[in-house]
Amino acid sequence: MDLRETFRIAVRSIRAHNLRSALTVLGVVVGIGSVIVFATFGASVQAAVVSQIGQTSANSIFLTPASIESGGQDGPPGAGIADATRPVFTERDVTELGEINGVETVVPQGTVRLSGVSHAGDTVAQRQAIGTTPAAFGDDDIVDGRAFESGAQEVVVNEAARTAFEQNLSVGDTVTLTLADGDRRNATVVGVADGTRGGLLSQFGPSGPQLYLPSEPFYQTSVEGTTDGVRVTAYPQVTVVAEPSQTGTVADAVRAYTPESDAAALLPAEQTVGVQTTGEIVGQIQEILGQLTRFVTGIAVLSLVVGAIGIANITLVSVTERTREIGIMKAVGAQNRDVMQLFLTESALLGTGGAVLGIPVGLVVAWGATRFAEVGFTLALDWMAFAVVVGVAVGVGAGLYPAWRAARVDPIEALRQE
């Protein structure tokens, strides 16, 4: 029997039971739709996070203390945050790293402990500021004013900090910093930045009020040096900014240097200096988000399985109801494979219908979710293809057994049935 006729008869049978066919299709729509929603939303979040990191620090190589156990440079970003705050990178390390070929600049970064910040009589509690060097600010980072100068009583604030006071800060204003030890220092606001090239944990999403101070004179953290017992300034994080296209070779050179660095000497035995390029971090984040997406989408696949059971169920009912019809068709010359084809086409149509309707439904819901989460909308084309293939496969797979039963119907028994 030709496929077009099979198709026609199958469509007619489906339409003869409009409501129950619609409900069966709905089951598949929910299944395919949820797969699409989670896959698309996951892909969107992934794309948003990756582009955020990629934009700000494409050529950066991050150095942080990392425990060997947690994987060192291969560990996920943020692993062992306590470890990562150990101040171990000395001025000598910063200088040595800066001398590597292809390095544009080296940005050390540490935490300046505060208790509050005042402006025009209004005090805002602020636990910490970031102590770093002017090199931390790339051309794109400063949105107003300029970077601070090393050794100056100057401060750069982010947008959240600029508007944290009753009177918004503007370039040229003076703020009073209350340090953790109670000292008060005045600093002039010289610029507004929307981030720095340094630091890898400070890059996610819109952050709270942030102040950037020149490490000289504000950053005080020091450790006993490696040689003569003199205390030297040390930072918990160093960011090496490589010249574009040199990131790979610079990263290799940085890795070669770290075993002889002060940081390596200062770190306890179970820790090492972690070196990660932006690309590696992006890769790791992508992998984590990818795993998460696959996990959640896997759960959505469960609902697709339920949809498949719905198709199998309704096709079985259909075979039972139409046993006599099958008998008639066989009596007038239908081959077993004609009967099988007929029922398989029916279930495949239900599955395909579910997929075709499920994709737009899933995309609309996913779009809504990305609006809500304020991330860009990214299509997960591979998952969409997967959903269609699965929809058809689910239809065919779920129809196989019922269709096989239909094909095996004994025409004599069938014609005897009322």
Among 13, 59, 196, 258, binds another protein (CB under 8 A): 13
Query: What angle, rounded to 10 degrees, do the helices at 336-373 and 323-331 form?
Result: 130
Nearest to residue 95, comparing CAs of 261, 252, 264? 261
- The CB-side HSE value for 332 (13 A sphere, CA atoms) comes to 6
Is 333 among the residues that bind another protein (CB under 8 A)? yes
Closer CB to another protein, 166 or 418, in the complex: 418
Binding span for another protein by CB under 8 A among 57-65, 132-140, 332-340, 387-395: 332-340
Instruction: Give min distance, CB of 8 to another protein, in A.
Output: 9
Nearer Cβ to another protein, position 273 or 329?
329
Q: Which is nearer to another protein, 152 or 415 (CB)?
A: 415
CA 293/CA 382 separation, integer angstroms? 13
**Considering beta carbons, is residue 162 or 330 the nearer one to another protein?**
330
CA dihedral 124, 128, 129, 133 (to 10 degrees): 170
160 interacts with another protein by CB under 8 A: no
278-321 and 381-407 helices, crossing angle to 10°: 20
Does residue 113 interact with another protein by CB under 8 A? no
CB of 26 to another protein, least distance (A): 23
Contact flag: residue 92 with another protein (CB under 8 A) = no
By CB under 8 A, is residue 3 in contact with another protein?
no
Q: How far is the CB of 16 from another protein (least distance, A)?
A: 5
417 binds another protein (CB under 8 A): no
Question: Minimal distance in Å, beta carbon 418 to another protein?
Answer: 8
Buried b (16+ CB within 10 A) or exposed e, 371-404: eeeebebbbbeebbebbbebbbebbbbbbbebbe
Among 3, 5, 54, 373, binds another protein (CB under 8 A): 5
Instruction: Give the residue, chosen from 125, 331, 364, 381, that forms a contact with another protein under the rule CB under 8 A.
Output: 331
Stretch that binds another protein, among 9-17, 90-98, 236-244, 284-292 (CB under 8 A): 9-17
Residues numbered 15 to 44 that lie near another protein (CB under 8 A) are: 16
Q: Does 9 bind another protein (CB under 8 A)?
A: yes
Which pair of tokens denotes residue 282? 């992006």
Q: Which of 97, 280, 92, 271 is nearest to 200 (CA)?
A: 280
User: Both tokens of residue 288?
Assistant: 């984590």
Q: Counting contacts by CB under 8 A, is residue 12 touching another protein? A: yes
We find the least distance from the C-beta atom of residue 13 to another protein, in angstroms, to be 7
330 binds another protein (CB under 8 A): yes
Of 374-413, binders to another protein (CB under 8 A) are 411-412
Return the residue of 175, 311, 334, 394 that touches another protein, per CB under 8 A: 334
Among 149, 335, 371, 389, binds another protein (CB under 8 A): 335
Cβ atoms of residues 197 and 108 within 8 Å: no
**Residue numbers 290-329 binding another protein by CB under 8 A:** 324-325, 327-329
Residues that bind another protein (CB under 8 A): 1-2, 4-5, 9, 12-13, 16, 324-325, 327-336, 338, 411-412, 415
